[in-house]
Structure 1
Amino acid sequence: MEGNKDEANRCIEMAEKFIKEQNRDKAEKFLHKAERLFPTQKAKDLLIQISLMAPNKSEPTQPRKRTVHQKSEDTEKKSKDYTEEQEEAVKRIKKCKDYYEILGISKDATDSEIKKAYKKLALQMHPDKNKCPGASEAFKAVGNAVAVLTDPEKRKQYDLYGSDEDRVSSRGHQYTYTRGFEADATADELFNMFFGGGFSGSNVYVRRGGRWQRQSSSNQHQERTNQREQQNGYTAFIQILPILLAILLSMASSFFISDPAYSLQASSKYPILRKTMNLNVPYYVKENFHMEYQGSVKRLEMSVEEDYVQTLKHACYREKSYKESMIWKARNFGDQELYHNAQNIKLPSCEQLQNLRAR
């Protein structure tokens, strides 16, 4: 943005020069350009000033004969259904190398500033408002930018890796924005979310069979309403199905599954502490264990030890995974203190498992 500010100031200086020369047209042209690059109150005041100026008197009174080249230029201008300002805006976006530059914001811009910049550009680039070649691609690029930068996780990843991956490649007259981070929704879906369905009576672009097709916003709304109504019943059933299965399984378990003979954790149902003969592993049984349990205590304690060892293995794996992830994070951010702390993370379950194996 600072580069745009300097260029805007140069345009204002040129405009002031032409105002002194009473050249209203050129002064107005440079002031409009300054406003596009970096809006300022000074440019607005000068525009008001030249609106009060008399028309240029430097125009010749006698009509000049138009050359063939001039006539072709006039014909071309008449055939265009877009303005020079729209064309300049599309060209600017095609030259941008990252999402912040596309939206014309700084990297520390707030969420509201991002959305404000998007709304301005989206209205300017929408295919129903801007017929300039390349406007559709620019509109999609603006949509991608706001979708990524308003998502906290995607924006964090983009700030870390996006600058090295951003590329804008040209194939013939088609420009493709190839970045490592893309929007989950289409550019038109994002536009509809921000503007409540787009322009009244306008066309909305939808993707069908790999191609973009126009569809009126009213037809699209009706189509989506019908789809939602058809899916409501099936979706409701899918959502409630896990709850029904859980209830059925709970009821079945109460009939066919009895309580286990022991627990590795003390509770009101298992208050009595015991230890295995081999590895001295603590476990808990019911108060009536001696009367109720009819099996082999030796085999039971073997099961206790196997269960205990498996529990330690799982806990050890989680502790190692956490430690490795913290070490990787510290290396990635180049944080020496974080790396030192990660190296000193204790692995209590792994230590207990090692002590058991040493017996």
Structure 2
Amino acid sequence: MTDIWTPTKVGNLEIKNRLAMAPMTRSRANPDGTPGSLAAEYYAQRADLGLLIAEGTQPSDEGQGYIFTPGIYTEAHVEGWKQITSAVHEAGSHIFIQLMHVGRTSHPDNTPGRIRAVAPSAIAPKDQMFTLEGMKPIPEPRALTLEDIGRTIRDFRHAARRAVDAGADGVEIHGANGYLIQQFFAPNANVRTDAYGGSIENRARFAIEVAKAIAEEIGAERTGIRLSPGATLGGLEEGPEGPDLYRYLVRELNKLGLAYVHLMHLGDDTLLADIRRSWDQALIVNRPGRALQNVGADIRAGMADLESYGQLVLATPDFTARLKFGASMNVADRSTYFGGSAKGYTDYPTLAAEAAV
């Protein structure tokens, strides 16, 4: 029987186990978007997992939403990420960098040059954003023109190339969690009347074009995508057509031969089964809040090729060792999730360190 310890393939990579680290924003980059000095240690500590998916990383100035998130589009960014990818490879794992354009989930205070956010349509999310001056209402974004859409796709393409230049094994397109790509899916955020709005096919078009561009640039085997069907983050409402949009989208993406789909599964088991049947490459399933005793359940049931974990891995560098020994996991310190130093980042204890003490 296939279990979490059975090796597998993602694209052309041999993956030593079926556990993946989910991408998690930690807001510890330098102000220019270069990854911070502790990031290499942080990721290498967790390299016992078969695949690490790095935190959301903006492909352009315009794509930034939060303070101190990393970028991957300048030479400085590339040099910073090289330290991380080298450390992960030396520790025996593989790493994909997640490309995250937040769209309307932004505030000018958090971007270089105080850039106004862009989105499919000029509709604000009715939410607030943390800035260095505290919480502020998110202002109305500017609707992307057709020229803007083409430029944004080129930004994704450029960032993917830069990620590979930095030694990443591939990139994950962030098409989930209320950010730009998912904003195109949701009728309450996308009221366009051109080729990118209205029908399911039109609302899925931007995601497909981004995936095509990146696959052409770095290879489909190095390209993954994260999706979160039904997620309402950022005030999105996908409506009754939502599941059918994802069925169509996955079928179209499957034609490209991408390395994987990374699915944040929120309970629609029928949709999960349909995606499983429609997808020929690796399927990574993330179930938020999955109980520890259920680790590996989707793999054993044949519903996933890998399972990804976020908070448990954030707090437990030796996650795989503790699973093998049946040891308890560390408790995550939520106060240190975003920003700060080594505390709550690289100082979580391991079984080996505790034994040495």
Q: TM-score range by the shorter chain?
A: under 0.3
Greater RCO (Cα-Cα under 8 Å, separation 6 or more): 2
Q: Which has the higher helix share?
A: 1
Bigger radius of gyration: 1
Q: Which has the higher strand share?
A: 2
Query: What's the TM-score once normalised by structure 1's chain length?
Result: 0.22
